[in-house]
A and B are shown apart, each in its own frame.
Chain A
Amino acid sequence: MKRFLTIVSVLCIFATTQTVKAWNNIGHATIAVIAERHMTEEAKEKCRHYLKHNLPYYASWMDYWRNCPGFEETHYWHSVPVDEKNKQVKGETRNAAYQINRICKQMRKYHKLKDSIVADNLKYLIHMVGDMHCPVHTKYSPNEPNLKQRSVKVKGKKLGFHSYWDASIGYYNKGMKCDQIAEKYDTLTEAEIAAICQGKPNDWATVNAIEMREIYTLLPMHSEVTEISEQNHARMKEIAMQQALRGGYRLAKVLNEIFSK
């Protein structure tokens, strides 16, 4: 019975999942809520001034616009391509970490930019800092065929490996809203958060590239999701939530730094 209910839940979640390739809505919104909980009052106030909304409202904005005229290039800003040594592919600007760095540099003088540019930059950052932490958004080299994302099965039915991980935060927190998930998991100490926030987006991308190789062994390609061991599912949940927390804390750090100047 328990197994059957799991299958039904998985099917329900994926039946409502959009075809976008990113953390899905609940993942992005959770990360934005976590970020807001760790932003300075000044940064929160500035974000509200430019966005006219709270952070979670724009968490999936890039996904809604990526296929609209004028936004074609942004389609490629959701993931980080890396080589076999876990380094970002040189000269590749279709890279979330590269775009985050570019926007952060531009935002150093945010007060000299048009309000609409600042608002758009914030919308990009809210989404991309979250997305670069999605376990399947490290794009490994084609020279590593064992890390190519194919499909898995849910009770015999094919499902993209990528789609599974995009929906993982919702899947592992069934029936919960994004703010409830944030409340439940955002329990790290100040020291732990400070440790997570050390470094820059390039460093975070490298750590992701090293650590996210594990997901390909936890959920092998073409495997049956409902037959994966409880131990593996527990580890997959741990990874999904760890990455959401990292995304949230680091997004707060990025925004706090921009608006502390």
Chain B
Amino acid sequence: MKRYIILALCLLAVSTASAWNKFAQECIATLAEQNLTEKAKSETTKILGGDLASGAWWLQTIAKNEATKHTAHWHYIKITADLTSTTKSNKDGVVQIENCIDVLTNRAEHSDSTVVAALKTVIHLVADMHNLAHVRIENIPNSRHNFEFQISNGFSGKKAALATSSWRKFWDSNIINRHATYSPKLFADDLQTCYGADKERFSKGDVRHWAADMARLAAPLYKWAQPDMIMSREQHNRLEPMNDKTMARAGYRLAALLNEIFQ
């Protein structure tokens, strides 16, 4: 009996884990898959033995292992005060994506397992670098530390209530969980409907440009977002399209990157 209660609590806890959650990762990977060239699709399927979504969560699963816990740093990107990405540190998502691009481009020189790991890492990190809570900007302390704030349920009078959330948890799972009853394909189809016309514009540039683009989106957000703030239901609702748009950027950019590597 006790065992099942613990299991049930664990299942609830998993859905609020502190990373862009599995559903969001799979949606982004599915959107990317829908935009791969035939050649890229065939190559990635051969490497992974499945679709991109099948490899999307792997990097998260190894972050807690003793031997691979250093990868926990890779889920964030470092941005300088002038909103550019110039870091060479290995503790950075952009640098790790560049390392993986190198492995995948020269895949004949690497073992199969290294190539598989590189592809799974790229899928996950291109998604994560587009999570607004994963952009760490040099002169904005709130972007570099997780903080707690309160979310209003929108009610007034006796039913008014505030729920405490962390900033990271909000962007990692809270917003996207409004659509967690969809299959990843259904949500990816919606992103395609909504942002298909922006695909070319979003895909331009390289990983460093994309990081700078995310910094430009995130910086103004931190002028507003402060520890202990109260987020109204209306503000909560208005942030949702911002999250969708960053997911669309991630999906299209991941596709563009893989199409270029496997052209």
Contacts and interface: CB of A to CB of B under 8 A. Distances in A.
Interface of A: 4-5, 8, 11-12, 15-16, 19, 25-26, 29, 33, 48, 52-54, 56-57, 60, 64-69, 170, 177-180
B213 interface: no
- B-side interface mostly: helix
A48 B154 contact: no
Nearest to B235: A68
15 contacts: A8-B5, A8-B8, A12-B12, A29-B179, A48-B193, A53-B190, A54-B190, A57-B194, A60-B178, A65-B233, A67-B154, A67-B156, A68-B233, A68-B237, A179-B183
Contacts of B4: 4-5, 8
B17 interface: no
A179 B156 CA distance: 35
A180 B181 CA distance: 10
A57 B181 contact: no
Interface residues of B, number: 30
Interface in B184-242: 185-186, 189-190, 193-194, 232-234, 236-237
B153 A179 contact: no
Nearest to A69: B234
Nearest to A68: B234
- The 5 A-B pairs at the shortest CB distance, nearest first, are namely A67-B154, A26-B181, A177-B183, A68-B234, A8-B8
A65 B232 CA distance: 11
A177 B186 contact: yes
Contacts of A19: 153, 159
B1 interface: yes
A4 B1 contact: yes
B67 interface: no
B11 interface: yes
A29 B182 contact: yes
B190 A67 contact: no
A163 to B, nearest CB: 14
B8 A56 contact: no
A56 B193 CA distance: 12
